[in-house]
Amino acid sequence: MKKLKWIILIIVALLALVFFVGMPYMKEQTKKISPETTKTYTENGMDLSINYSGPFKKGRTIFGDLVPYDVVWRTGANEPTKFITATDIKIIDKILPAGTYSFWTIPNKDSWKVIFNSEIPDWGVTILSGGKKTTRNPKADVIVFEVPVEKSTIVEQQLTMDFEEDDQLYLTLSWDLTKIRIPINQ
């Protein structure tokens, strides 16, 4: 019985070590590989920001391979991408209330589904799946819509998200030879 208590104590200590030391160390190391970036837009009565970790291409085929088609992607590396709006905004024909959201996509060759979700999970993927399975709760999706893919002739080496003004405001995502533009209005 004494031996069993020691075994249990050692297992608990090892699990605590992994949780309190190993996981924070792993998060710190992955952010060196896929740096965290925050982009903001504070004009025209809007106060928006997107916080994401941008992995690099490193000679890999990105869409359809590293990021499979027709599968929910956490859209970035490390923790889920966070989108924050201080006011209600309109994306295409859907209202996104003021708040903080996790940002998910389902890439495809010609168009992407874009998802703003009210829950922000710790990591966004399950470790046991090797990062292939997300922890997104579809019941917490606030808005889901589709945008076309724009093909680029210039290879974007690192995943980049930003706000661009053209004929209107867009949240853009570019990586490899792919770009999507999400129209944002008040």
User: Same domain, yes or no, for 71 and 10?
Assistant: no
- What is the domain count for the chain? 2
Q: Are residues 27 and 40 in the same domain?
A: no
Per-residue pLDDT of the chain (186 residues; tens, 9 = 90+): 677 777 777 777 676 666 665 555 455 545 557 899 999 999 989 999 999 999 999 999 999 999 999 999 999 988 899 999 999 999 999 999 999 999 999 999 999 999 999 998 876 665 655 556 777 889 999 999 999 999 999 999 999 999 999 889 999 999 999 999 999 998
Residues 21 and 48 in one domain: no
Cα–Cα distances in angstroms (integers) from residue 61 to residues 64, 67, 159, 176, in the given order: 8, 9, 13, 8
- Asked whether residue 168 falls in the same domain as residue 83, the answer is yes
Among left, alpha and beta (phi > 0; psi -120 to 50; other), residue 31 is: alpha
Q: Phi-psi bin for 162: left (phi > 0), alpha (psi -120 to 50), beta? A: beta
Same domain, 117 and 161: yes
- Same domain? 166 vs 101: yes
Q: Which DSSP string do the residues of 122-160 spell out, in sequence order?
A: SSSB-GGGTT-SB---GGGEEEEEEEEEEEEEEEEEEEE
Do 93 and 165 lie in one domain? The reply is: yes
| pLDDT at res. 126 | 57
Which of 135, 133, 177 has its CA nearest to residue 159? 177
Do 53 and 134 fall within a single domain? Answer: yes
C-alpha to C-alpha distances, 96 to 52, 141, 168, nearest whole angstrom:
19, 11, 17
Question: What is the C-alpha to C-alpha distance for residues 45 and 42, in angstroms, rounded to an integer?
Answer: 7
Residues 29 and 46 in one domain: no
End-to-end CA separation in angstroms for the chain: 67
94, β-bridge pairs: 91
For 9, the domain range is: 1-33
* Per-residue pLDDT, 5: 77
**Alpha carbon distances (Å) from 6 to 18, 20, 21, 85:** 18, 21, 22, 51
Paired strand residues for 42: none
Based on the fold, state whether residues 131 and 156 are members of the same structural domain: yes
Q: Which residues contact 45 (CB under 8 A, 6 or more apart)?
A: 87, 186
Q: Give CA separation, 131 vs 46, 50, 61, 86, 168, in Å.
A: 34, 22, 17, 31, 35
Query: Are 134 and 72 within 8 A, CB to CB?
Result: yes
User: Could you tell me if 25 and 105 lie in one domain?
Assistant: no
132 and 177 fall within a common domain: yes
